[in-house]
Each structure stands twice: as structure tokens, then as C-alpha cells.
Amino acid sequence: MMRIISFIRPTLVTLVLLFLALYLSACWSRHELNELSIVVGLGIDKKGDRYNVTAQIVNPSQVSSKQGTSSNFSPVISYEATGISIPEALSRMTAKVARQLYFSHLRILIVGEEVARSGISKPLDFIARNRQMRTDFYLVVAKGTSAGKILNMYSPMDPIPANNLFTKLETSDKLWAATGKITLDKLIQDLSRQGKGPALTALEIVGNPTKGDSVSSAHIIDPVVILKYAGMVAFKYDKMAGWLNENDTKVLNYIQNSIVQSTGTLSCPNSEGTVSLQVVHSHAKIHVNTKGELPEFELTLKTEQDVTDISCELDISKPETLVMLNQLADKKLESMLENTLHKFQKQVKTDIFGFGDELHRSDPKKWHSIKDWDQTFEKVKINVHSICTIKRIGTTIQSVSKETKK
Amino acid sequence: MYIPTPTNNDHLLHEYLELNLKQLHEELGYSPDLISRQFQAALANGRIVQGATVYMDGLSSSSMMLQFLFAGNHENDPSTTSAELLDYYQERVIPEGSVHKLASFDELYDMLLTGNSILLLDGCNYALAVGTKELKARSVEEPNVQSVVRGPREGFTEVLGWNTAMIRRKINSRHLWFETLKLGSVTQTKVAIIYIDNLVSESVLELVRERLRKINIDGILESNYIEEQIQDKIYTPFPTIFNSERPDVVAAGLLEGRVAIMVDGTPFALLVPALFTQFFQSSEDYYERADFSTLIRLLRFFSFILATITPSFYIAITTFHQEMLPTTLLYNLAAQREGVPFPAFVEALIMEITFEILREASVRMPKTIGQSISIVGTLVVGQAAVEAGLVSAAMVIVVSITAISNFVLPAFNLGIAARIIRFLLMILAASFGLYGVFIGVIAIIFHLCSLTSFGVSYMAPLAPFNLSDQKDTLFRVPFTSMMTRPKSLNPKRLVRQKKP
């Protein structure tokens, strides 16, 4: 009898627990894998005052590593739909797509240039609000074309173009200072800050776009069409303010301390040829001086560089040469920084670098006394210093061209 | 030796041999394996006495008794009555260790049916029982369920006396005590309680005695008959009594202060109290280096978790939480599921049940073909099922890793628990996703913590936590650091070895 009683109590507890679980359960979100359309790329364009949404969907059986006969279906399919809002367009898309759209594995979100110019905050709300969207995909702006067209391009190597774009951006961001990966949460953070405008990487189509939309284009060694990252786009509030060229992007990345590695070249002194320097470590610091009426900024950029290539007759074994190279590199970096900063102060008139943010942090009172930061930014003085040290010269001493017997 | 005292006068032996033999044959149903050999013996005064020796065919050595009687030298036999002759036989003639006088039929049956030979003489109302047991039993062999790479190769047999001798041979101490009792109203099976007198926890021993005394079943054919009647909780998939067919395991348990229960007729001895972590320990842990044993032991815990939750995890993630999969893996899994008609849960159920069928079949099949059939069966069924589009290839991997992990567990009965829980968790996973799996896991942990084994918390020494017992729980420290016996077992003497 005791045993039966001791059995009843835990059973009841378990039953109650199970019933409670029913109410909390997630059974409605149950989807088998073959009931999902995995969206990997999403493009947002403008069509009049409506949004044109393009979704790139994976066809798993063409992508998986399973060997066997591949029936030459395209590995991805893209669908288009138009609506007043993004969710409306996506709902309309269900009439075309075989299965339910699944956004958790979105790799890249492409915003058309027109949308960027008219404001990205409206379409972004859906993206930020959606339960399925993670925040680890990258946002880019289509340059000179629509997002839909980019999503219709086939990519060599990786069968999934969106995946290709994702990894491409990730590697080039790491090894080359002229691109920048921005995720959704970072973009929203930048949008909500006053002292720093957002900037997104730009993406353009190189080659003949009319031929790039077929798998057969992957049969050619030299790709007909390549999707290429080309600088960045500066935003003023949520609207596009101007393009950043390669140098501007480098400067932005230097100031944001988001450089892992980059390469720059110097022309040789006294002779023809160049010296390539690889930046292996960089650290930028903004110092704010608020004594005057207008704040003044001291930008110090500390870099550590390695010599990777010398194509002139330079005697690198002498310490003086290294000192000289240091000075040249400093000069080059300083002029590069000054040029870009000047351009953004006087022409684009937006602070994407975060000077305002720095001011806000170091002197909040002063910051609050300034009404329009972008107007003030035009007028502030920014002094630039570069402290560069050349650390390693590689595994040979003299350049090959110097050693070559003439 | 156990001798019941006669209580019923009706069952006392008669004085006449004929009557005795008649009643014996009658009461045993004229069984053909009852052999009675009659003989004549001459007394000193020249009288001839009728006698008979009775034994069960196959249980005792027939020739031994006859040799005493016929080949023995009875020249100086001084007896003048048959009672004297019987005494003379007991004291002088029979060169056997165990000779008893019997007065009642009850005693007689007891002796006769356990393999003794009975010597009856006409004109004498008692008999002699001579220990001429000759057991036809399996010899000591290597245990085939709990095998080890390094360690003793002997396993228990079906004979209780041999088994207790094997333990005695390992522990040569006068403190190794045996208590025997007979259980089973019909089978009269001998059951031994074994413990080391100066180590054993008194409360556990008392519980064992008390619970064994309460058993009132007609027959005990295996130790599980006892296990189920003395365990603390019936409705649990987890075993709360440890069993082993290895004398070294039982000896190690006794040295930790546990109590062993052995049943005549089965090589499996019971060991109580049993702790949850004990089921992850193999005797080999102590025969290999400590570092290696620790790693292997951790691997077993990991395998148990794998064996329990892998299918449910797979179901939950692929049907509810696809966002948790790495993107490339998602493509591959989605591609495999392309064309599979069933939901992941049904798919898992098909494969799991198929596997359980194959496994059960291979256990029941003759040993020689069992193993090959199981391998071929799994391969063919697995691969063919994938190719036929019934299940996805990933599911075959999930089921295989589950099955293999299950075999890592050294205790077979804990593996059964893992198998039962696995199906429950799969149902939870199919209806509630990971939320359900974790509700299930939490419920199982609650349940485990509520269990006791002979008054000792089942999850000890993890819950309640005992720091010094951790030396031999998840880890196995070298013997030089294992100074005490497990505290949670509450042994009389805690110190195992003194610091040098």
C-alpha cells in the first residue's frame, strides 16, 4: 500500500507538469526540414512607393555534398513580390514559393540604392522585429543596380550566391581594410546614435549581368560576372549621403579600429618602384579638446607594419632606410586621413567616424549644448597624427631587384 | 548446517524398513530417479539385519555409499542391535564429513532431495544422511556478460557453495560472514547473505534480513526474484540493486561495506546498497591506471547521456529549432529529408524500434549466428531503409550512435533504463521541442534524487554531495590517495589504509 501511494504522488506531479507544458508548448512552430524554404539572401528594392522584395531560396538537394547524379537544377531560386510593406510583399510571395519561408539562416540582406536614398529605417523594422531573423547576417547596399538583380546572379565556387557574398565579405574585411561588415544590430545601434552615422558596404556587379543568371556561366574559368564589394555607403540618419571610395573606407576602418590586416604601398624615394607595407596592427585614438568654443579633435593612429615587397633598389639593411620608410608611411597615412576627413566635413557633411560620439563621451555637457552635430562637424578642427613602426622585413634582406646582376 | 526440528509426530520414521521404504516411494510419487538399494548386514551376535540406502539419481554419487558398505572391513563390529550398527556406521565406517542422524520424514526429504544418501536399517527408527552430493554443474568459466581486458577470468557458477568459496578465496578473513536461509515455499532455494562483519553498515544488513524474511514466494529461480521483492521502489526504470557475476566485483563491494546476496542456481549475485554512479564503474577501472580509468569513466557518463537524449535532441532540433543548426549542415539535412515521407519523430521511431527488434533477436538467437545476423541486419536494414526513402541517412547515424553508446555502459540493467527513457524523451521532443526534452530531463533528475537503495540516497555522493567520496565517483584517483571507504555507504570502519 505504501508503495502504491508513493507511486501516485510523483505521477500526479508529472501529469500536472505535462499539462502545464501543453500551454507553454511550441508545437505550433513544428516544421519538418523538408517543409521549409531556407532563405539565404533577401533584397529590398523600391518600385514606385511600394517595396519589391527578392528572396533567394536554397534548393538543398542541389547543394548538399551527397554524391550521385545531379540533375542540373539551379542550387538557388529567387522569387520576387511587391507590397506596400515588406511583410506584405513576403506574404504575397507565398503564392509563388512551394514551402514556408524560413529566415533564420539568412546570410545577406541587400538594400537597393533607391531604398538607401529614401531611408532604410522603414524596411528595417520588419527585419529587426521578425522572430526568425538572427542578427548575424550582413547588410550591404547595391551600387548602380537593384538588389533583385544581384540576387539573380550566379556565383562561381560556392553554389549559393548569398553564401558566397557572406564569406567574401568576411575574408576581405579581415584581410583588406577597404570593406566593412555590418550586422543588423550594429546598424540599428549606429542609427540610434547621434554622434555617429551608419555606413554600409556597397556591392556592385562587374561584367555582363545578362549572362550571369545561369548555372552554365559557372562552366567558364574566367567568370562572366562577378559580384564585387566596392567601398561603402555613408548614411545621414537613415538616408544615403554619399559613397565612400576605397581610401575613405580604409580611413573609416582605421578610425573604427576594425582592421585586422591591410596592405598599402609607398612609392620609393629616389628611384622608381614601390614598397608594400602590410598593416598587422593598428589602433586609433581620438582625443577631444573642448577648451575653445568649438571642440577640437586629435586623432592619433598607431600602426605596426611589415615590409612585404620592395621593387626598387633600396638598401633595407640600413636603419636609416627604415626610419625613412616610417616617415613616408606616416605622411601617406596622414594625408589619406586628412583627405577623407575633409571630404566628409565639407562635401558629404556627415560624421560616420564617431567624432560626435567621442565628444559625447568625454564632455557630455558640451555635447548637449550643440544642437546640430552635423553642422558643427563641418567646422571643427581635426588634427591627424600617425605613429607608424615597421617591425619585420620578411625572410630576405635586400630586394630581389637590388640583388639582380646587371 | 541447517537442521529443522521435527514438529509433527505423524512424520517420524518407522521402526520397520519396509514401512519406511513404502512411505518414501509413495510420497515421492514412485519417482524413477529415487534409487533404493537393499542390503543385508550381519550383527556380532549373528543376526542378519535388513538395510537400505536411498539416494536421488544424478544428485549424489551412487558408488560412494555402496563402497562404504560392501568394501569396508566390518570384522570387529561389536554391535548387537541395528541401532548400535547405525551408530557404528556413523562413527567408524563412513569416511564422509557430513553425516547426520534423521528422525522424521521431513528431515529425510530435506537431505535426500539436496543430494545426500540416506542409510536406513530395519528395527531402527532413525536414519543416517550422508553427504554424498555430486553436483552435475557447469565448471568455473570466464564470465561472458561482464568481461574485462585485464583482471580475474573466473565467474560465478550456478552452485552456491562454489560461489561462496570463490569469495572466501579472495577474502581470507574470519570477518567474512555468511548467513544462509531457505526461500521459496516449494523450491526451498538456498540464499546466502554475505558481508564483512566489522565493515558492514548495520542498518543496511538489518534491512536486508528484514526484507528477505518477508519474502513468501513459491519459487526462486534467479536472483531477480529476490531483487524485485526487496528493492526500495518498484516503479522506476533505474536499478537500485547492483548485480554481478564476478567474484572480484562482489569482493570489492564487500570491502566497501556492502552486503551481497547470493542465490543457489544463478551466477548473478546481488550487491546492496547500489548507487547510481556505481553502475558506471567497471571492475577494470581498478585494474588499469587511474588516469586512464578516469577518462574511460567520464566517457561512460557521456555515453549514457548520448544513449538517452541523442534521438530526442535530433528530433527537437530538426523540427523546432532549425536555427540552431550550422547553415551547411542544415542544407545537408534538408537535402536528405527531401523525399522522406514521415516526420522526423516517426522516422526515429521506425529506426529505433527496428534496432530494438534486431537486438532482441540477436540475443535470443544461437550464439554462433547471433552476432553476424545482428551486424548484417543493421547494415542491410539501415542502408536499405535510406535507399528506399523510408528514413534519412542522418537518422541512421543518430540511431547507431545511440545504440553503440548504450553498449558502452558496463551495467546491462542501466542500459535498459536508458532505452526506456530514450523513447519517453523522443515523444516529449516531438511535441514540445527542446523545451520538452529539458522538462523530461529535469523530471528524470528529480526522480533519480528521490530514489534510495536500502536507505542510502541513490544519487550519493553527488546528491547529497560528499567531497571525500568524489575520489571514486566521476574520477578514480590512484590507490595511494584512496584512504577511506565511501562515506555514503556508512561502513563501520571508514579508514581503508593508513598513511605510510
Which among A244, A272, A301 is the end of a domain? A244
A26 lies in some domain: no
Are A237 and A130 contained in the same domain?
yes
Span of A378-392, B134-148, B233-247 with lowest mean pLDDT: B134-148
Q: What are phi and psi of B7, to 5 degrees?
A: -115, -25
- pLDDT band at residue A55 using 50, 70 and 90 as cut-offs: very high
Which of B331, B432, B445, B451 would you mutate first to test chain A, the one with the most A CBs within 10 A?
Answer: B331
**Whether the predicted pLDDT of B283 surpasses 60:** yes
Q: Which residues of B touch A107 (CB under 8 A)?
A: 327
Q: Are residues A299 and A220 located together in one domain of the fold?
A: no
Distance CA B48, CA A375 (A): 141
Is residue B120 in some structural domain?
yes
Contacts for A128 with CB less than 8 Å, ≥ 6 apart: A184, A188
Residues of B in contact with A69 (CB under 8 A): none
Residues of A in contact with B435 (CB under 8 A): 21, 24-26
Chain A neighbors of B439, CB-CB under 8 A: 17-18, 21
Task: Give the separation between CA A110 and CA B310, rounded to whole angstroms.
Answer: 38
State yes or no: pLDDT of B319 exceeds 80.
Answer: yes
> Is A9 domain-assigned?
no
Q: Which of A10-19, A62-71, B332-341, B468-477 has the highest mean pLDDT?
A: B468-477
pLDDT at B8: 53
% pLDDT > 90, chain A: 19
At residue B127 the predicted structure's pLDDT band, cuts being 50, 70 and 90, is confident
Backbone angles phi, psi at A277, to 5 degrees: -125, 135
CB contact under 8 A, B322 and A21: no
Tell whether B312 is covered by a domain: yes
**8 A C-beta contact, residue B117 and residue B130:** yes
What's the domain count of chain B? 3
Residue A1 lies in a domain: no
Full strand arrangement of the beta sheet holding B117-121 = B34-42, B48-56, B117-121, B127-130, B99-102
User: Which chain B residues are Cβ-neighbours of A63 within 8 angstroms?
Assistant: 331, 335
- Cβ A57 vs Cβ A77: under 8 Å: yes
Strand, helix or coil for residue B459: coil
Q: How many domains does chain A have?
A: 2
* A179-232 pLDDT tens trace: 778 888 888 888 888 778 888 999 988 887 777 777 676 677 888 888 888 888
Q: Check whether residue B199 and residue B314 sit in a common domain.
A: no
Q: Cell triple for residue A268? A: 620609393
Model pLDDT, residue A71: 61
Note whether A132 and A102 are within 8 A (CB): yes
Confidence of residue B4 (pLDDT cuts 50, 70, 90): very low
| Better pLDDT: A158 or A90 | A90
Beta bridge partners of A384: A299
Of B482, B340, B312, B463, the C-alpha closest to B398 is B312
In a domain, A19, yes or no: no
Residues A198 and A327 in one domain: no
| Span A291-306, average pLDDT | 89
In angstroms, the separation between the Cα of residue B444 and the nearest Cα of chain A is 10
Q: How confident is the model at residue B374 (pLDDT cuts 50, 70, 90)?
A: low
In this structure, the answer to whether residues A236 and A187 fall within a common structural domain is: yes
Show residues of chain A in contact with B234, CB under 8 Å.
3, 7
Chain B residues with CB under 8 Å of A61 CB are: 335, 338
Q: Which of A17, A29, A38 minimises the CB distance to B334?
A: A38
Average pLDDT over residues B91-117: 83
Q: Tell me what pLDDT residue A406 has.
A: 64
Task: Give the separation between CA B411 and CA A379, rounded to whole angstroms.
Answer: 79
Shared domain check, A298 and A240 = no
Q: Does A3 sit within 8 Å of B233, measured CB to CB?
A: yes
Q: With an 8 Å Cβ cutoff, are B233 and A6 in contact? A: yes
Query: Which percentage of chain B shows pLDDT scores above 70?
Result: 95
Kindly state whether residue A123 falls inside one of the protein's structural domains: yes
Q: At A201, which helix (H) or strand (E)?
A: strand A199-207
State the residue range of the domain holding B411.
Answer: 290-456
Domain end point (choices A244, A272, A304): A244
Tell me, what's the pLDDT at A69?
47
ipTM value:
0.77
Would the CB atoms of A34 and B340 count as touching at under 8 Å? yes
- The answer to whether the CB atoms of B335 and A63 lie below 8 A apart is yes
Q: How far apart are CA A135 and CA A106, in angstroms?
A: 9
Residue of A26, A60, A134 lying closest to B331 (CB–CB): A60
Residues B365 and B399 in one domain: yes
CATH number assigned to the domain comprising residue A316: 3.30.300.210
Q: Are residues A235 and A251 in the same domain?
A: no
Question: Does the distance separating the beta carbons of B330 and A31 come in below 8 Å?
Answer: no
Query: Which residue is listed with cell 583627405?
Result: A339
In terms of Cβ atoms closer than 10 Å to its own Cβ (0-12, 13-18, 19+), residue B224 is middle
Angle B484-B485-B488 from CA coordinates, rounded to 5°? 120
CA distance B398 to A267: 61
Do A263 and A201 fall within a single domain?
no
- What pLDDT digit, counting tens, does each position of B321-373 carry? 888 898 888 888 888 888 888 888 998 998 888 888 888 887 777 777 766 76
Mean pLDDT of A125-145: 88
Residue A20 lies in a domain: no
pLDDT at A334: 92
Residues A100 and A209 in one domain: yes
Task: Provide the percentage of residues in chain B whose pLDDT is more than 90.
Answer: 40
One domain, residues B254 and B317: no
CA distance B86 to B459: 60
Pairs of residues, one from chain A and one from chain B, whose beta carbons lie less than 8 Å apart: 95
Contact B344 A24 (CB under 8 A): no
Query: Does residue A18 have a pLDDT over 50?
Result: yes
Between A263 and B67, the more confident residue is A263
pLDDT tens column, B206-240: 999 999 999 999 999 999 999 999 999 888 999 99
Model confidence at A44, pLDDT cuts 50, 70, 90, reads: very high
Contact criterion met (CB < 8 Å) for A60 and B335: yes
Question: Hunting for cell 554622434 — which residue is that?
Answer: A195
Please give the Cα distance from A35 to B244 (Å, whole number). 50
Sign of the torsion angle spanned by Cα atoms B332, B334, B335, B340: positive
* Partner residue opposite B330 with nearest CB, options A10, A17, A105: A105
Say yes or no: A230 and A303 in one domain. Answer: no
**Structural domain includes residue A8:** no
Within-domain flag for B283: no
Give how far Cα B129 sits from Cα of A2, B54, B83, B120, Å.
Answer: 46, 9, 15, 9
pLDDT tens digits for B459-480?
A: 988 988 989 899 999 999 999 9
Considering the domain architecture, whether residues A380 and A342 belong to the same structural domain is answered as yes
3-state SS, one letter per residue, for B191-207: EEEEEECCCCCHHHHHH
Residues B436 and B311 in one domain: yes
CB contact under 8 A, A134 and B323: yes
Domain boundary, last residue among A244, A276, A297: A244
Interface of A with B (CB under 8 A): 3, 6-7, 10, 14, 17-18, 21, 24-27, 29-34, 36, 38, 40, 58, 60-61, 63-66, 102, 104-105, 107, 132, 134, 160, 163
Same-domain status, B335 and B446: yes
Residues B345 and B423 reside in one and the same domain: yes
Indicate the length of chain B as a whole number: 500
Q: Which domain holds residue A285?
A: 246-406
Same domain as A288, residue A163:
no
How many Cα atoms sit within 13 Å of B88 on the Cβ side?
Answer: 20
Report the residue of B214, B234, B236, B322 to disrupt the A interface, i.e. the one with the largest count of A CBs within 10 Å.
B322
Q: Select from A277, A296, A288 the least CA-distant residue to A379.
A: A296
Chain A positions in Cβ-Cβ contact with residue B339 (cut-off 8 Å):
34
Query: Is A11 contained in some domain?
Result: no
- As a whole number, mean pLDDT of residues B251-279 equals 93
pLDDT of residue A29: 74
User: Average of pLDDT values for A252-257?
Assistant: 88
Residues in A touching B214 (Cβ below 8 Å): none
Q: Does the distance separating the beta carbons of A107 and B327 come in below 8 Å?
A: yes
Residue B124 has, within 13 A of its CA and on its CB side, a CA count of 21
Domain identity same for A231 and A310: no
Per-residue DSSP letter, B275: -
Contact B336 A66 (CB under 8 A): yes
Could you tell me if B239 and B104 lie in one domain?
Answer: no
- A-chain CB neighbours of B331 within 8 Å are 38, 58, 60, 63-64, 160
Clarify whether residues B167 and B91 are in a common domain. no
Is residue A1 pLDDT above 60, yes or no?
Answer: no
Nearest to B435 among A25, A40, A65 (CB): A25
